[in-house]
Amino acid sequence: MPLGPVMLDISGTQLSEDEIKRLLHPLTGGVILFTRNYVNHRQLTELTQQIHALRSPHLLIAVDHEGGRVQRFRENFTKLPAMRELGKIWDKQSSRARHLAKQVGFVLAAELNVCGIDFSFTPVLDLDYGKNSVIGDRAFHHEADVVSDLAYNLMLGLKKGGMPAIVKHFPGHGYIQTDSHLEKSIDPRRYTEIEADDLVPFQHMIDSGVAGVMPAHIIYSEIDSKPAGFSRIWLQNILRKELQFEGCIFSDDLSMRGAGDYLESMPSRAQAALDAGCDMILICNNPAGVDEVLHGLRWEMSATSLSRLARLHARNNTGSIIKLRENGEYVQAVREISIIGCESGELPLQ
């Protein structure tokens, strides 16, 4: 059964019968996991194996595991720094920051990989304008070139760990103060301003072969009256044609208020996001909304979308955490990560 366009969540550490039915639905293509789905490595691995065994090709399994505030699995996982810490190091010693970004990406991917996770929605490419607390220290830096540099090196680390990079939140979430999880969000800037700054890291990562992009639930009122994730102007005209992105476009969570103020019903949001150009849509913390979409959406995946999704399966996720901890490169990377952001502010010796 080919993958469908819906990525949904589950409620606990094991699959219920209702959840298995949802995962077997032809419209389902992936699962996003949260902290509530994790107890320990063994349980997580058993859960991902159960999910993968349901379908062929197997359902994609994703997580928001960036570092800092946004790290879903913590116990027995390496504590990853907020990306801003890498930006601070870049200001003092750019070559060291690049190296550490690779190490963070490697550890992030390798630890998820051995537990059966296909990818994380990372890195964040938003610029830190000092306005948006939702982004805040999730952003590498306020300068576009620094964000581009560090994100690229983190992507190299992810690749070494067996995972693709999925960047967000296109075309940039850092400028506004509002939280699109909770309210309608509008960025009033002209396209030339956004292009000169916020789009720079996205263009750089696209040119470097990034596998996926997630647009923001923000209305850029000078460009379109629709949020970027529902806008053919942003997704087709700009992202696909102008920036020449050929990878997978994921919607942000359609349950967010920034999406709900645009369209009321979940099936209408799903249809609008797919019509605009998303290859896969996320619906989180809303099982009733998932059921409405699975029962009401009419959508046939294109061969192009299926090909994009197929490239997102993780590589080499057949190892174990025990074997990983015997890997010298991994041990060294964990050691280096552990002193990022230390209170002294001193950089480790090379």
In a domain, 344, yes or no: no
Q: Is residue 55 part of a domain?
A: yes
Summarised one tens digit per residue, pLDDT across range 98-139 is: 999 999 999 999 999 999 999 999 999 999 998 877 899 999
pLDDT at 115: 95
Residue 4 has pLDDT above 90, yes or no: yes
Lowest mean pLDDT among 41-50, 141-150, 260-269: 260-269
pLDDT tens column, 206-238: 999 999 999 999 999 999 999 999 999 999 999
Question: Looking at residue 67, what is its pLDDT?
Answer: 94
Number of neighbouring beta carbons within 10 Å of residue 329: 12
Q: Read off the pLDDT band of 320 (50, 70, 90).
A: confident
Q: Tally Cβ neighbours within 10 Å of residue 18.
A: 12
Residue 30 located in a structural domain = yes
Residue 345 lies in a domain: no
pLDDT confidence bin for 344, thresholds 50/70/90: very low
Classify residue 36: in a domain, yes or no: yes
Per-residue confidence band for 185, with pLDDT thresholds at 50, 70 and 90 = confident
**Two structure tokens written together for 234:** 């942003």
| 306 assigned to some structural domain | yes
Biggest distance spanned by C-alpha atoms of the chain: 58
pTM of the model: 0.94
Binding residues: 64, 72, 138, 168-169
> Does a structural domain hold residue 349?
no
Q: How confident is the model at residue 272 (pLDDT cuts 50, 70, 90)?
A: very high
Binding site for substrate, by residue number, is 64, 72, 138, 168-169
Q: Which domain holds residue 66?
A: 6-337
Q: Which residues are catalytic?
A: 181, 252
With 0-12 / 13-18 / 19 or more C-beta atoms within 10 angstroms meaning exposed / middle / buried, residue 288 is exposed
CA distance 96 to 119: 25
Per-residue confidence (pLDDT) for residue 348, from 0 to 100 = 46
Q: How many domains does the structure of the chain reveal? A: 1
- Token digits of residue 51: 């999910």
With respect to residue 350, please indicate whether it lies within any of the assigned structural domains.
Answer: no
Looking at residue 311, which CATH number applies to its domain? 3.20.20.300
